Amino acid sequence: MSDASTATPPLLEVSGLGQRYGGRTVLRDVHFRLPAGRSLGVIGESGAGKSTLARLVMALERPSHGQVRWSGRDVNAMPARERRALRPHVQMVFQDPYGSLDPRWRVGRSIVEPLSALPMTESQRLARLAEVLEAVGLEADAATRFPHQFSGGQRQRLAIARALATRPRLIVADEPLSALDVSVQAQILALLRELQHREGISLVIVSHDLAAVEVLCDEALVLRGGEVVEQGAVERVLGEPRHPYTRDLLAALA
């Protein structure tokens, strides 16, 4: 895998990561390093542990083994308050556009929620709200409406706007396209790629859509039954897969 051999630690580093629920091991021995500005695709079928990995990377769960480091700092070895202070740097986009916004809140309020931890004035927050809405291609007056007044694709844009609010260095997206209509998926895909180019954001995208991973990612990691069966540069993994499972996955889509 690519390695930043400078003194600065990678933006995200995961080592020996594993997770068990009760007696069941859902993730075992995952390692990867993600330098700033690079993106990783996590590929696999359902039950392979992709969402668990996403939650562990986001420190929404404690792993049973291994470490998750954000810019070199072990997120699970710090007190909760300190971890919360780091959250502005690492944001998330969820799979279900219908569920990821509080149905009782106006969407503007949801979008600026991540800003509440930062020292900003009210007018600065409103300015940022307008900025991110524009960045995702929505009008400013969208902020006063409720989630149920938007379509699935628009809600996903709102979720992305929320993820952008704090100018994070890393966004983890868990199947951001799969709940959307086909003709809308391409829009969100194009938006994500544009944000990568313009803002230099790193993405960790969990997806079973190999073509989307190819478009958005530099590195790819293939999970099966909680274990990494293959990882490396995305052209190599998708172009010349070594593991039979990866080959099967690709063949199924041909």
Partner 1 sequence: MSAPLLEVRDLHVHLPGVGGARLHALRGIDLSVARGERLALIGESGSGKTLTALAIMGLLPDGATTTGHVALDGRDLLTLDEDAWCGLRGRRVAMVFQEPLTALNPLQRVLAQVMEPIRLHRLAADRSQARDRAMALLARVGLDDRQARAYPHQLSGGQRQRALIAMALAGEPDLLIADEPTTALDARLRVQVLDLLGELVAERGMGLLLISHDLALTARRVDRLQILYGGRVMEQGDAPTLLAQPRHPYTQALWAARPRLGAGRDQPLHPLKGNVPALTQLGEGCPFAPRCPLATARCVDQPPRFDGRIACWEVSP
Partner 2 sequence: MRRAGFLAGAILTALMLLAALVSLVWTPWPPDQIDMARRLAAPGAAHWLGCDQLGRDVLSRLMAGARSAWLVGVVAVGIGLIAGTALGLIAAARRGWVEALILRASDLGYAFPALLLAILLAAALGPGMTVAMAAIGLHAVPSFARLVNGSAKSWWARDFVLAARVAGQGPVSITLRHVLPQLMPLLIVQGTTSFALAILAEAGLSYLGLGTQPPQASWGRLLAEAQTLMFEAPQLAVAPGVAITLAVLGLNLLGDGLRDRLDPKELPR
Given strand 170-174, what is the order of strands in its sheet? 73-74, 65-70, 12-21, 24-34, 227-233, 219-224, 40-44, 202-207, 170-174, 90-93
Stretch that binds partner 2, among 3-11, 76-84, 204-212, 235-243 (CB under 8 A): 76-84
Q: Helices 182-199 and 152-164: crossing angle, nearest 10°?
A: 20
Q: Under the criterion CB under 8 A, does residue 103 sit at the interface with partner 2? A: yes
Q: What residues between 202 and 221 interact with partner 1 by CB under 8 A?
A: 208, 210-212, 214-218
Which residue in the set 101, 204, 228, 249 belongs to the binding site for partner 2 (CB under 8 A)?
Answer: 101
Which residue in the set 110, 156, 185, 202 belongs to the binding site for partner 2 (CB under 8 A)?
Answer: 110
Q: Please, which residue, 199 or 214, has the CB nearer to partner 1?
A: 214
What is the spatial distance between Cα 130 and Cα 143, in angstroms, rounded to a whole number? 8
Binding mask 151-170 for partner 2 (x = CB under 8 A): --------x--x--------
Amino acid at 247: R
Q: Under the criterion CB under 8 A, does residue 141 sit at the interface with partner 1? A: no
Q: Under the criterion CB under 8 A, does residue 189 sit at the interface with partner 1? A: yes
Collapse the DSSP code of 216 into the 3-class scheme (helix H, G, I; strand E, B; otherwise coil) and give the result.
helix
Which residue in the set 235, 240, 242, 244 belongs to the binding site for partner 1 (CB under 8 A)?
Answer: 235
Residue 177: phi and psi, rounded to 5, are -105, -20
Q: Under the criterion CB under 8 A, does residue 94 sit at the interface with partner 2? A: yes
- What residue 24 binds from partner 2, partner 1, none (CB within 5 to 8 A, per partner kind)? none
Q: Under the criterion CB under 8 A, does residue 252 sit at the interface with partner 1? A: yes
CB 124 within 8 A of CB 165: no
Q: Under the criterion CB under 8 A, does residue 60 sit at the interface with partner 2? A: yes
Pick the closest to residue 132 from 183, 186, 201, 85 (CA basis).
Answer: 201
| Helical segments of 180-223, H only | 182-199, 210-216
Helix (H) or strand (E) holding 48: none
Q: Please, which residue, 63 or 241, has the CB nearer to partner 2?
A: 63
Residues within the interface to partner 1 (CB under 8 A) = 45-46, 151-154, 181-187, 189-190, 193, 208, 210-212, 214-218, 234-235, 238-239, 248-250, 252-253
